[in-house]
Chains A and B, each alone.
Chain A
């Protein structure tokens, strides 16, 4: 007989599932507790395998809608309808992928990179360039960060978002240059204003077609004299600039810190071995090092789930496909909770931690829980009432219900929908302890 898992084993297993795989599917948590930590680490790191879940999700076929039409014409009405529909399809498509993937690490990493290269459709407008960026992020999600940076610096949606098509030799626009260094590769105060000015010059000559994200390069508009960036002098274009910046040791530290911050803890600091593992900028290796680290048994490393992480986790456990929900209600709920994919609040990405834990957010978390529970498969609750509380912790991947939550759930064992609502809203499920 397998010994009963300790609390620490339950904690580490739950953390790995919630943080790298958007939470367990029904039965998965109990099975991995039996199989042991090494099996859990192997499981959450799986990616690149044939995935029948993902195969069942059809990507929206987004046409190039072309330039904005003049206002108040029938063509304009159709245009905005197509744009709006495309935007909605895009969000639901990605949520579906997160929920139904059998190996969700790649989607989880794509979600992380979306917050890292935070680009918002609120300014880009068109869904097509956002989808193309999303596919790029997915392609490089576990690849080499320097390759990713070299492609992202000429990504159409990012260039439009950060005004790079307004970057001329005569009056360089520094937005992309600054944010690329400050938020995406090096961190704040790790470069000088001279570096920003020079990097902006390296980024001159690029223009973006807003409707499709195609980036073109015009040599005539490019500053082609030598520039000094981070102490190195030479002629630079966007790609060689990204290559130069990501060659710096600070880049490895910054990205390793970001990953720690978003996956492990907002209050503790990563061991130096993490940065060490990222010397070659291999994201897969960094994530693997993290998954195999001792961080998961340290009680200090708790995190708040962001609204999308909470929602996707709930949908995975309750077997709800986001596209089966009313799209308007779903997008309204996500927006009220403060997080709609493709629409981060600013270039700094999503908030984290306690920022998500407000009474205002809770009232909408309740609304969304109703949307999910109404469509849910509650069969994991088909156990004797005396076992329901315990079974629900395994079902959702919660290490342990507090006495508060256990007694509240025990009062609802006769009504599974009510029981499920309370479980999804419990503090232990809002947080990855």
Chain B
């Protein structure tokens, strides 16, 4: 058949594609500062911060069963010794790159949910992340779980915000999408002219409308800088993840009316040379989370914030010859917050009862974790966001 003749089927395909095209708003710091002043998030409103680790973070070298002889023998070339970990029970320890989380755990502010994945785990990055982000086992569902939560909220571009410029699928609903905010702090003018520049932002009776708008843009910069003072910087100094989380904590502390935030970090796909790479990544995440919790704990939102840290899968129990690990299954999820009941949840997957691929058995379904967060943090029954799911794991 020659498709150059117009036919209705092709037309419907085309318009159908148009219907589902979603455009995410890129919000400026000015508009966020404006929203924080005009419609601040009511006090005591819970907030969820989602940290996505792309690539498949090795759970066994994050929360380490360091005394298990199977752990030491199955991955003898990358296993962490007792001097490379921070024990919190007689058999489990944090990777020593994570002193901040270790301290927060000791203060009962970290829930570690063990053995998290879903039935018959998929070892493809793409498929598994799609399952986690859509909270659906079928490819037919393309919306994200937070996106579907957005669908049932009163519309506002501020409900959920991702940091960066590319919208992750979890923030895309059937009707609504989250907004994005670019990294990059506020750079105020410097040098000898700096003290006079704010005067250019005053309005003048002779201004035509566009000149007035140009003047307003100048005064907006200075008022935004005042409201979001921690973002005023000459040059970024921290890691990528700490820049993102520091932006989020500043915006949370400024009462921006946002319930869900998403940040992310890539490069956890440690097939070779895992120890050095993963330790460095975990150290960045740990330092960023520590600074984030410090910042939140000193603001008005101290008891409102819950952080979830997850990855699309853990990694193989047995290491490979390249001093790395291949794609695996279950791994721990961290839930962090001043009102979180810290401790261990779920069951640690056994290192001696592996599946046919040599991977950990799943002990907790990730949808139970979402269920708890939806209920406790977002105030929404799990079934409204994940159809036909009703169980929840509460850490609050």
B99 to chain A, nearest CB (A): 36
Tell whether, in the assembled complex, residue B196 and residue A172 are in contact, meaning their CB atoms are under 8 Å apart.
no
Q: Is A70 an interface residue (CB 8 A)?
A: no
Tell whether, in the assembled complex, residue A431 and residue B29 are in contact, meaning their CB atoms are under 8 Å apart.
no
- What 1/0 mask marks residues of chain B from 32 to 49 whose CB sits below 8 Å from any chain A CB? 000000000000000000
Q: Is B4 an interface residue (CB 8 A)?
A: yes
Q: Is A233 an interface residue (CB 8 A)?
A: no
> When A and B form their complex, what is the total count of cross-chain residue pairs whose Cβ atoms lie within 8 Å?
135
Q: A358 with B28: in contact, given A363-B221, A370-B191 (CB under 8 Å)?
A: yes
Q: Is A124 an interface residue (CB 8 A)?
A: no
Q: Is B283 an interface residue (CB 8 A)?
A: no
Which chain A positions have C-beta within 8 A of B346? Answer: none
Tell whether, in the assembled complex, residue B221 and residue A427 are in contact, meaning their CB atoms are under 8 Å apart.
no
- What 1/0 mask marks residues of chain B from 8 to 46 whose CB sits below 8 Å from any chain A CB? 001100100000000000001110000000000000000
Q: Is B215 an interface residue (CB 8 A)?
A: yes
Tell whether, in the assembled complex, residue A433 and residue B211 are in contact, meaning their CB atoms are under 8 Å apart.
yes
Q: Is B103 an interface residue (CB 8 A)?
A: no
Which chain A positions have C-beta within 8 A of B186? Answer: 363
Q: A302 with B210: in contact, given A357-B217, A361-B217, A418-B192 (CB under 8 Å)?
A: yes
- The size bracket of the interface on B is 35 or more
Q: A366 with B208: in contact, given A411-B196, A422-B200 (CB under 8 Å)?
A: no
Q: Is A428 an interface residue (CB 8 A)?
A: yes
Which chain A positions have C-beta within 8 A of B217? Answer: 357-359, 361-362
Tell whether, in the assembled complex, residue B4 and residue A169 are in contact, meaning their CB atoms are under 8 Å apart.
yes
Q: A358 with B6: in contact, given A302-B209, A303-B210, A404-B204 (CB under 8 Å)?
A: no
Query: Bound complex: CA of A30 vs CA of B323, how far in Å?
Result: 74
Query: Bound complex: CA of A24 vs CA of B51, how far in Å?
Result: 52
Q: A302 with B208: in contact, given A194-B6, A367-B187, A431-B214 (CB under 8 Å)?
A: yes
Q: Is B199 an interface residue (CB 8 A)?
A: yes
Query: Bound complex: CA of A198 vs CA of B2, how far in Å?
Result: 12
A153 to chain B, nearest CB (A): 18
Q: A422 with B196: in contact, given A359-B220, A366-B189, A433-B210 (CB under 8 Å)?
A: yes
Tell whether, in the assembled complex, residue A223 and residue B197 are in contact, meaning their CB atoms are under 8 Å apart.
no
Query: Bound complex: CA of A302 vs CA of B213, how far in Å?
Result: 12
Which residues of B pack against A, CB within 8 Å? 2-6, 10-11, 14, 28-30, 186-189, 191-193, 196-197, 199-200, 202-218, 220-222, 224
Beyond A360-B221, A427-B212, 17 additional pairs, beta carbon < 8 A: A172-B4, A193-B11, A197-B6, A302-B208, A353-B210, A357-B210, A357-B214, A357-B217, A359-B217, A402-B205, A405-B200, A408-B196, A408-B199, A421-B193, A427-B214, A428-B211, A431-B208
